[in-house]
Amino acid sequence: MAMDRADVIARYDEQLDTAAYADVDASANGLQVGSETGTVERVAFAVDAAEATIEAAVDAGADLLVTHHGLVWGGLDRVTGREYDRIAPLVENDVGLYVSHLPLDGHQSLGNAAGVADRLELEGREPFGELGPVHVGQRGRASRTYTVEELRETLDGFDNGGRPTQVLDFGPDEISEIAVLTGSGADWLSEAEAVGADALVTGEGKQQVYHEAREAGVNVFLAGHYATETFGVRSLAALASEWGLETTYLDFPTGL
């Protein structure tokens, strides 16, 4: 089945409430490369828009590549070097690039945090991770109490190229209240402390989060930027399948 490319883009923009994040996200969300005209039969999905995933999308015969991390962050001055090497195959093969960064982090059912929360079987979920007028994460109560090691083992089951989850175990030994903000979410540790979370699950940390977690008495689990951000694009792939489109998922774990 084929759909108008403009229709696919409009559906994703509506589902993800893309416009609500325009003033807070450095990413140019929505269609970043390509024309809105034409049709789409096959869509490829990946976490990152990089040479490897773009080439794989072309090889798969995709009409559209949907990624979480795109190519345009706060402007694009020149299309040369690495930027040219990434954009040229998209243009030459008429593959559109659709990007959803923070909208896909914060969506409460389709998003990355929601996907992690699903795997952790969190209940009574609420938005977490304030960023201006929007949220970019989710929190909830585990349906069963985790020990630190049990939660680490569960997160190690995420696809992160074999890299184990790092744990800053400065919080309670028994974990029920969990805040999730995928990717680089350590900056929201203070909010996790304020809402009474036993643990913050994110992808990667910064140097200062060690001391902040220790002083706050909150466990921090660093499960990998890539590993925590595969859920959103997989949800968008499921939507495309429901619309009758062919889909393919391009898995390029970074181990980071």
- Residue 191: inside a domain: yes
Binding site, annotated residues for a divalent metal cation: 68-69, 105, 225, 229
Residues 137 and 29 in one domain: no
Single out the residue in 100, 123, 149 at which a domain terminates: 100
Q: What is the DSSP string of 204-220?
A: ---TTHHHHHHHHT-EE
Quote the pTM value. Answer: 0.96
Number of domains in the chain: 2
- Overall average pLDDT of the 80-103 stretch: 97
pLDDT interval class at 1 (50, 70, 90): confident
CATH number of the domain where residue 11 is located? 3.40.1390.30
If asked whether residues 113 and 205 sit together in one domain, one would say: yes
Q: Are residues 40 and 24 in the same domain?
A: yes
Write down the pLDDT at residue 75. 85
Residue 120 and residue 201 in contact, taking contact as beta carbons nearer than 8 Å: yes
- The pLDDT of residue 194: 98
Angstrom CA distances, 113 to 122, 159, 240, 241, stand at: 11, 15, 20, 22
% of residues, the chain, pLDDT over 90: 95
Question: Residues annotated as binding site?
Answer: 68-69, 105, 225, 229
Residues 23 and 125 reside in one and the same domain: no
Mean pLDDT of the chain: 97
pLDDT tens track for 99-112: 999 999 999 999 99
Are 163 and 52 in the same domain? no
> Cα dihedral sign for 53, 181, 207, 153?
negative
Q: Is the pLDDT of residue 43 over 80?
A: yes
Residue 61 confidence (pLDDT)? 98
User: Is 161 within the bounds of a domain?
Assistant: yes
- State the Cα–Cα distance between residues 6 and 126, nearest whole angstrom: 32
**57: containing domain:** 3-100
Are 214 and 118 within one domain? yes
Are the C-beta atoms of residues 192 and 179 closer than 8 Å to each other? Answer: yes
Report the pLDDT value the prediction gives residue 175, as an integer from 0 to 100: 98
Residue 233 lies in a domain: no
Q: Is residue 160 part of a domain?
A: yes
159 and 216 fall within a common domain = yes
What is the pLDDT at residue 159?
Answer: 75
Query: Tens of pLDDT along 163-184?
Result: 899 999 999 999 999 999 999 9
